[in-house]
Amino acid sequence: MSSTREQLIELLAKQGGSFVSGQWISETLEISRTAVWKQMKQLEKDGYQFEAVPNKGYRIVEVPHKLSANTIQWGLHTKWLGKEIVHHDRISSTQTTAIEYAQEGCDHGTVIVANRQSNGRGRLSRQWYSDNDQGIWLSVVLRPDISPMKAPQLTLVTATVLAEVIEQISQTTPAIKWPNDLLLNNRKLAGILTEMQAEQDKIHYLVIGIGINVNQSYQEMDLSVREIATSLQIETGKTFHQTTFIQLLLECLERRYQQYLDEGFHLIKASWEQYAYKMNKEVTYQTGKAKQKGFIRGIAEDGALLMETESGRIDSLYSAEIDWFSSDPGATVRKTLTSKQQEN
């Protein structure tokens, strides 16, 4: 049960920028007009600003940037994504909590977001450093009516969305390193962790976890990842409002998700390939015992990496050890840190 103050914000947020009368608020929340006024004064202390006009009522004109379910929902233009937002100041992992919510039957489009995570999880059981409030740490619960075989495509949809939104917000162009790492200047900026529960032909839920390093300074990055990871602040010298960022992210994800369901994978594939790290470049990779060289040519419908071998054949790679940084001068440092975390 939410507090009167949360109910009041929700009520005002739902009206967009329109006025609502004090009488109507007091009747809806079943509190006196004086209590409404007192609550508003408290909200002003938190950074909310209201306009009060006689005979018209109140409306919100300024929402604080502090991360909360209400500040994200205020001005969020989505139909279903983020209609239910659960916000925690500090949590073990939004991913673990989202899975619990999904198992308890939460709605498609529920979002779990935290300022910081004490036990953030990355792919391949790695740790994801996020015990600071400078990044974006959130997980989205989806219940798509698609074959479980196609679930990897939704991770690629998400990677594309991250690249598009990061570019829009920061005016820098990230690269997507297959399958789903976002890099800026060869360092990891963001990652995606997708976990699913499904039967043979039905997905019960898919939880997509998104971690983006946003406002951390170089010193604030964990020592063990400083040389292999980066943040938007480090790369651009600017800081970004997390609420605005999350709103754009959710709006773009809902749009791209719907487009993917309506029109199929080809538009996502095209956008993914535009951002692909080392696209049409030669890399060394290993699938079995032997190392070979090949050119990256894009992704297949099932999410496999398309690699042109030295003999000109196009191979689909589902898992491979790729030497991504071998022609890069920073490679030695990075390669020694690779096994630790935040790198594939």
E strands of the chain, at which residues? 49-53, 57-62, 85-91, 111-117, 136-142, 175-177, 181-184, 187-198, 203-212, 282-286, 291-299, 305-309, 314-317, 321-323
Residue nearest to ligand BTN (CB): 191
Dihedral sign, CA of 12, 17, 18, 19? positive
The minimum distance between CB 341 and ligand BTN, in angstroms, equals 8
Residues contacting residue 8 through CB under 8 Å, at least 6 positions apart: 25, 29, 36, 39, 40, 43
Q: Which CB atom, from 76 or from 182, has the smaller least distance to ligand BTN?
A: 182
# residues contacting ligand BTN (CB under 6 A): 21
Q: Which CB atom, from 60 or from 190, has the smaller least distance to ligand BTN?
A: 190
Stretch of 6-14, 134-142, 213-221, 276-284 contacting ligand BTN, by CB under 6 A: 134-142
Stretch of 36-44, 206-214, 259-267, 296-304 contacting ligand BTN, by CB under 6 A: 206-214
Q: Which CB atom, from 211 or from 298, has the smaller least distance to ligand BTN?
A: 211
Q: Which CB atom, from 164 or from 195, has the smaller least distance to ligand BTN?
A: 195
Q: Does the footprint of ligand BTN cover residue 230 (CB under 6 A)?
A: no
Q: Does the footprint of ligand BTN cover residue 130 (CB under 6 A)?
A: yes
E strand or H helix that includes residue 39:
helix 33-45
Write the binding mask 161 to 190 for ligand BTN: x where contact by CB under 6 A, - elsewhere: --------------------x---------
Report 66-95 residues binding ligand BTN (CB under 6 A).
93-95
How do beta strands 111-117 and 291-299 pair? Answer: unpaired
Q: Does the footprint of ligand BTN cover residue 298 (CB under 6 A)?
A: no
Please report where in the chains the tokens 């983006």 appear, as a residue: 212
Q: Which CB atom, from 71 or from 117, has the smaller least distance to ligand BTN?
A: 117
- Interface with ligand BTN (CB under 6 A): 93-95, 117, 120-123, 126, 128, 130, 137-139, 181, 191-193, 209-211
